[in-house]
Amino acid sequence: MPRRAPALALCLALFAGAARGEQMLVDGIAAQVGSEIVLVSEVLELVGPIEAEARAQGAEERDVAKLRADALEQLIERRLLSRVAHDAHLEASDSDVDAAIEGIAKDNGLSLDQLRASLASHGVRWDEYRGRIKAEVERQKVINAMVGAQITVEESELRAAYREMYAAQPQGGEEVHIKQILVLGGEGAPRDLPAACALARDAAARIARGEPFEKLAQEISAAAPQQGGDIGWLHVGAMASWMRDPLQHLEPGATSPVIELPFGCTLLQLVERKSFEPVSFEQAKASLQQEVYQRKVMEKYREWMESLRKRTFISRRSYFAETASASAKPAGLAPRGEAGAGAAEEPPAAP
């Protein structure tokens, strides 16, 4: 049984929230975690881009408060994990961080220089990025050491997972590997539908002149831009008619005409087609074992983190104490400790 921590989201998108705004943040203590503190500025820095987007979509103050509370819980968890990593000698070395960053760049199809440039374009300093990668690597080490070694996976669990994941798979038919350029338009989109379709038609003309489909997808597509529009293999029988019909007469490497939809305009490129072969239990067993293992690790990790929180003094101050008391536990985060009564402070100002 592999003793791995679950794969963590170390992709570039995870760190978009690390960008610093030019405006000076109003500071103060958001929480105390044991002998350490979490600053208001840290919370606002983490939540800033998400909060800005939420406000642009008309979020109310209670929604913003929930976003900030969730960000604080993430920072509290980081403090707890950092202390465990230090005490258990699980801290990440420079070589660990280098290896993780190289893996991230490779997974995103980027060189290290391109990764640096992409981070810089999002306002993320290289030292900040390395610090966040270091924290994630240490988190993975802690999960592996404190939780992973306790997990076993039974054959019956694998078979149950197979039934859950593959019961609805087709027993035959055809599947296609496709790439897509999707330009969103209409209500809620950054442009109206005619403008979106004009942009899609321009992309089609550029592809016809020899420009790579992947390059145009990276420039304008809302569908898998980092993958050059590659949305993988799809079973023909599960496709909507607007996607299935244009692909019927395409040869591999060919691109469909522009397809107008209620929410934008799209282009499809057929990469390959083949007969669909159902996945047997034996074929899926290795991936199922990792899937079930990771699921059980995260369940155990949440229990362990809750216990760690209960054993640690955690005090959320004023604004955050009130939010913690008034709201439910944040989705996807470990349970909170009790909100402590801190010194009176002004609610944190928006960045």
DSSP character string of 175-208: EEEEEEEEEE-STTSSS-HHHHHHHHHHHHHHHH
Q: What is the pTM of this model?
A: 0.60
Q: Give the residue among 9, 219, 213 at the shortest CA–CA distance from 103.
A: 9
Let me know if domain 174-275 sits in CATH 3.10.50.40: yes
With CA atoms as reference, report the closest residue to 119 among 228, 227, 12, 44.
Answer: 12
pLDDT per residue rounded down to tens, the chain (351 residues) = 444 444 333 444 444 443 433 333 457 899 999 999 999 999 988 888 888 888 888 889 889 999 999 999 999 999 999 999 999 999 999 999 999 999 999 988 889 999 999 888 877 889 989 988 998 999 999 999 999 888 999 999 999 999 999 988 999 999 999 999 999 998 878 899 999 999 999 999 999 999 999 999 999 999 999 899 999 999 999 999 999 999 998 999 999 999 999 999 999 999 999 999 999 999 999 999 999 999 999 999 999 999 999 999 999 988 888 776 665 444 444 333 344 433 333 444 443
Angle made by CA atoms 275, 237, 254, in degrees to the nearest 5: 65
Which helix H or strand E contains 316, and what residues bound it?
strand 314-316
CA dihedral 199, 202, 204, 209 (to 10 degrees): -150
| CATH architecture for segment(s) 12-152+284-326 | Orthogonal Bundle (1.10)
Please, which residues have CB within 8 angstroms of residue 75's CB and are 6 or more apart in sequence? Answer: 30, 31, 38, 42, 43, 46
The pLDDT assigned to 270 comes to 97
Give the pLDDT of residue 23: 37
- Nearest by Cα to 217 from 182, 259, 262: 182
What digits encode the pLDDT tens for the residues 181-216?
A: 999 998 878 899 999 999 999 999 999 999 999 999
What proportion of the chain, given as a percentage, has pLDDT over 70? 85
pLDDT tens digit string along 27-65? 789 999 999 999 999 998 888 888 888 888 888 988 999
Q: Domain-by-domain residue ranges, the chain? A: 12-152+284-326, 174-275
What's the pLDDT at 327? 55
Angle between helices 213-220 and 193-208 (to 10 degrees): 160
